[in-house]
Amino acid sequence: MKNRNDNLKRIIVDFKKLTPEILSLLVEKYPDGYDEDHIITFRNAKNEMVEAVQVDTEDTRYLVKVSTKLVKTMENYDEDDYEDYDEDDPDAVQDPDLDPDMEPSEDPEDFD
């Protein structure tokens, strides 16, 4: 017997591609933030190790790469900030102002 989750489309999402819809799903699933137990580790198509948290919709499993930007954005989430954007608009989720004392993620764009 096949599990319903076996047929889900799998999409890896980087912070740059994070949409209001996916952010909302993350905040709903992890209202107090995620911790080590929620992070899954896998190798991508380039054989690189990736750490991500998982959220599912009816037909898609999103694997959202973890980063300090993601943590900060989830902490400051307010759905009213996104009411003027489409749910699938990756430009709606802006880079947060990171505290210089926070550890940077491995994403090179965190060093701009």
16-75 residue pLDDT tens: 889 989 999 999 999 988 899 999 999 988 999 999 999 999 999 999 999 888 888 888
pLDDT of residue 111 exceeding 60: no
Instruction: Considering only residues 67 and 5, tell me which one the structure prediction assigns the higher pLDDT.
Output: 67
Rounded mean pLDDT of 82-107?
Answer: 67
Judged by DSSP in three states, 9 sits in strand
CA distance between the termini of the chain: 49
Domain ranges of the chain: 4-104
pLDDT of residue 83 exceeding 90: no
In this structure, is the dihedral angle defined by the CA atoms of residues 57, 61, 65 and 67, taken in order, positive or negative?
positive
